[in-house]
Amino acid sequence: MMVVRPSLSGVLTEQVLGLISDSGLQPGDRLPTTRELAQRFSVTTPTLREALRRLEATGAIEMRHGSGLYVGADIERIVLPNPNMRSMPGGQLLDLLDARILIEPPLAGLAAGRPGAEELRAVLGEAARHLSGQDAELHEANMTFHRVSARLAGNSVLEEVVDSLLSVHAPEQREILRIYDDRRRDYDEHLTILEAIEAGDARAAEELMRAHLIDVKTVVQQRLM
């Protein structure tokens, strides 16, 4: 775990977070300028910028070049993907897939019969349009399918966990897609999961999601051997 240090930068970070919550600012809302904030907290601009970079790194604010400071979309998240991940050792990737195998199937079950399946169908339509071509777009649609399935279950914390796991292994996922060319199978498996969710069949949705993720793990294991 991270150790909390009472550095000036840490104190300033708390002050900016306090300003955001005391002013009732929401993600996307604009913050005062760097200069105004430095004056308000009686620090130099470089010192303030150190605190702002801490907040930027953890998604609490966005620093848009030439435009200013905004409250970040991730400020109220519980968990964050590590933005510093470079490459993942094989063992860690298999642990990550086992984590997905534990978490995602029950979420697919919870999603069954809840509102929002039409969004999932739209995502799959997007995947269909890229089946015979663009890796990047197909990959994006496939990842979105898993994110939206998790979101439909209605638990914001588990949605963040799934989002974090998907974000961190996106590079490996793209590579799998390129090597194995299993576009059609992925698509077909996603379609059967969608149909179970649309039909409100929780047990089938859960089992199909589990089987699908075990398939993904098998592909990764073969690649690692």
Tell whether residue 224 is a contact of its own copies (CB under 8 A): no
Instruction: Determine the interface stretch with its own copies among 26-34, 82-90, 128-136, 178-186 (rule: CB under 8 A).
Output: 82-90
Let me know: does 71 contact 29? Beta carbons within 8 Å: yes
**Alpha-carbon dihedral angle through residues 184, 187, 191, 194, given to the nearest 10 degrees:** 170
Tell whether residue 1 is a contact of its own copies (CB under 8 A): yes
Report residue 67 CA to chain centroid gap.
25
Tell whether residue 9 is a contact of its own copies (CB under 8 A): yes
Pull the structure tokens for residue 194: 């969608």
Site size toward its own copies, by CB under 8 A: 59
Binding pattern for the stretch 121-160 against its own copies, x by CB under 8 A and - elsewhere = ----------------------------------xxxx--
Distance from the first to the final alpha carbon of the chain: 33
Binding-site member from 26, 39, 92, 218 for its own copies (CB under 8 A):
92
Tell whether residue 67 is a contact of its own copies (CB under 8 A): no
Q: How far is the CB of 78 from its own copies (least distance, A)?
A: 5
Q: How far is the CB of 161 from its own copies (least distance, A)?
A: 6
Query: 34: which DSSP letter?
Result: H
Handedness of CA 50, 72, 165, 216 (dihedral sign): negative
Query: 18: which DSSP letter?
Result: H
Tell whether residue 86 is a contact of its own copies (CB under 8 A): yes
C-alpha to C-alpha distance for 18 and 8, rounded to whole angstroms: 15
Binding pattern for the stretch 103-122 against its own copies, x by CB under 8 A and - elsewhere = x--x----------------
Q: How far is the CB of 176 from its own copies (least distance, A)?
A: 17
Q: How far is the CB of 191 from its own copies (least distance, A)?
A: 26
Tell whether residue 46 is a contact of its own copies (CB under 8 A): yes
Tell whether residue 168 is a contact of its own copies (CB under 8 A): yes
CA distances, 224 to each of 210, 219, 220 (Å):
21, 9, 6
CA distances, 130 to each of 110, 135, 136, 143, 217 (Å):
28, 8, 9, 13, 23
